[in-house]
A and B are shown apart, each in its own frame.
Chain A
């Protein structure tokens, strides 16, 4: 018989057995036994003290997205758990594997409206892959093993473990448990060989194929298989926002980003291709626009691990279920080596148009206020196009994902599905812990930064080296853009009176500089990158900057606004 240990220690040992060495958390009443035990485990588990529980979940997301491991957040019950909800919902819609452990009141008080009691499992069921309440110390090893298995396998997602306080203190003999199957759960559906054959024959017969690359490729570690597939049949490929960095920016078959603020060519070509090959993506409305006019001419092949994505938004001709790492290789095996030179040539004209009317103006303006795009371009160049990009949400995000460049996978951390303002700063902290040897650059707006600005305290305390580039336009820029275009220039509540951000950073001991002149920009960027600590670079950018191209919401993907075509 093992020596009995407390439930809290059993939790920490279970986590260590799952390979956890980093936790983002915040203590409180109903989780105190665990934090007390953590005091003895500091050498094995690095706990990063955040300043708000939402920050813990976003940091866990950032960590998971760059490392491919499960991110862990730890906090108390009640308000702590409800603060975590935004990050959990974000992880659900963006398929990010995180395990969130919340304290809970002692089991005897459950359901009695006890102090800091909230129905965490009930609240979180629609936004978790699995939510479980641990009421007995005997359950811990099993629940933790199951949580990690569920979070990480199949289509990943968030799991909540709601941990009753008495179970944290009760004694239990701990035996590690490893879970590798659950009767009711099929993480990866069986591959149907006839679908592989049908997909290959459609692609072989195709004259104008277009691949749409989603995060499924990154989650399935299928980057190499994807490139082999694309190169063999000479298929141009566009990415969704979360699929970015699955293919290097410099790859000739990479034709850019899809969607509302994506590149002109791939959006136009969606409605011209004869076979649309969707790979680990879910046809979000920001990608498709109006479904009634979306790719109607094309046969659609949909590779996905999640059967519920098939025919959810776009009717599929051939559905290839399974992990794309396997299914892509199998299809590639049946492909004829091919050339689509003429078809690929047709991407050039729309690209040139975008270059002339949008990109040149945004990246290389000669006069006037600093543009958002030019800041991003200069930062990506200065980092050798090999940094991790973290963004907040809004114009800063769209500009960053448009103009940042990548050489390796898992280089983009952004809130794609939920569009969570305030995601950026804590996610960047987590990303740096997940990829400690890479440079992490956060682009954030003045609005989003102020939603989770307290996490500057986390940076101060942990010393984590995050490069924060604040694109300050003194506006809630994306809302302002919509007001300009669709709400008759009525700028309702989008002007922001902002504090002195450099002083705030300074108060947290974070060096920084504010730049409003183009001539100062290069030096400021290189100072930021050379500084061996976190850094806040505030750039006062054009107040009325617009993100183009833009496909207005709910319209056809070919209805692309380029802004002022002069």
Chain B
């Protein structure tokens, strides 16, 4: 076999048409190779009508390259890329629901909010919802402290969102090139 490569966390970014069944087309490509999707987030991109998927997965460069090519090959996929953390500015968001009385008993709310750079989103007599953005380790650290000290009633963390550090805006450049080549009507590019 080829020399065993180390598994790294890769971020796969996919731009697609906004059509039904796209997510399934993408995930089956991971499934077929027994790759676990660590995080996933999907939303409309800056360009109207184009959706953006951000997927993280532990894999080797060799495999992630093949996966990205297979995704790219699907007819409704505009472009797929992969990056490592070094190439990206990325973020996740987490929400924590805790009992208000326990939060008060814990001592200084100000201390928690300041140390973690967290926010309070909503508060009632019974429960309080905290919000924290950050990398996995950061949102996890707050979760750990809260659950050890007062318990967390509900917790949710989003998938990763990421922006490249590259100077080249790859998708809009690609669309512009395609537009030029096909001589088709200007593809609308959002700000």
Contact = CB atoms under 8 A, between A and B. Distances in A.
Contacts of A150: 75
Contacts of B77: 184
Interface in A378-430: none
B16 A184 contact: yes
Contact of B21 (A125, A129, A183, A184): A125
A183 B177 CA distance: 11
A125 B25 contact: yes
Interface in B73-94: 73, 75-78
Contacts of B66: 308, 311-312
Given A125-B24, A126-B28, A308-B70, A181 B182 contact: yes
Contacts of A292: 1-2
A306 B73 contact: yes
Given A183-B187, A292-B1, A312-B66, A122 B24 contact: yes
Given A121-B21, A122-B24, A126-B28, A184 B182 contact: no
Contact of A183 (B24, B25, B72, B178): B178
Contacts of A131: 21
Nearest to B182: A181
Nearest to A150: B75
Nearest to B183: A181
A185 B73 CA distance: 8
Interface residues of A, number: 21
A308 B70 CA distance: 6
Nearest to B32: A126
Nearest to A310: B69
B126 interface: no
A130 interface: yes
A307 interface: yes
A342 interface: no
Contacts of A306: 73
B104 interface: no
B69 A308 contact: yes
B75 A184 contact: yes
B84 to A, nearest CB: 19
B22 to A, nearest CB: 10
A1 interface: no
A260 B184 CA distance: 48
A184 B17 contact: yes
B75 A130 contact: yes
A306 B70 CA distance: 10
User: Most chain-A CB neighbours within 10 Å: which of B2, B32, B73, B182?
Assistant: B73
Most buried by B among A129, A150, A183: A183
A509 B94 CA distance: 73
Nearest to A313: B66
Nearest to B76: A184
A148 to B, nearest CB: 13
Nearest to B77: A184
A252 B182 CA distance: 43
Contacts of B175: 183
Contacts of B28: 125-126
A181 B185 CA distance: 12
B182 A308 contact: no
19 contacts: A125-B21, A125-B25, A125-B28, A130-B75, A133-B20, A183-B175, A183-B178, A183-B184, A183-B187, A184-B76, A184-B77, A184-B78, A185-B76, A307-B73, A308-B69, A308-B72, A308-B73, A311-B65, A311-B66
Interface of A: 121-122, 125-126, 129-131, 133, 150, 181-185, 292, 306-308, 310-312
Given A129-B75, A308-B70, A308-B73, 20 more contacts: A121-B21, A122-B24, A125-B21, A125-B28, A126-B32, A130-B76, A150-B75, A181-B182, A183-B78, A183-B175, A184-B17, A184-B77, A184-B78, A185-B76, A292-B1, A292-B2, A307-B72, A307-B73, A308-B66, A311-B65
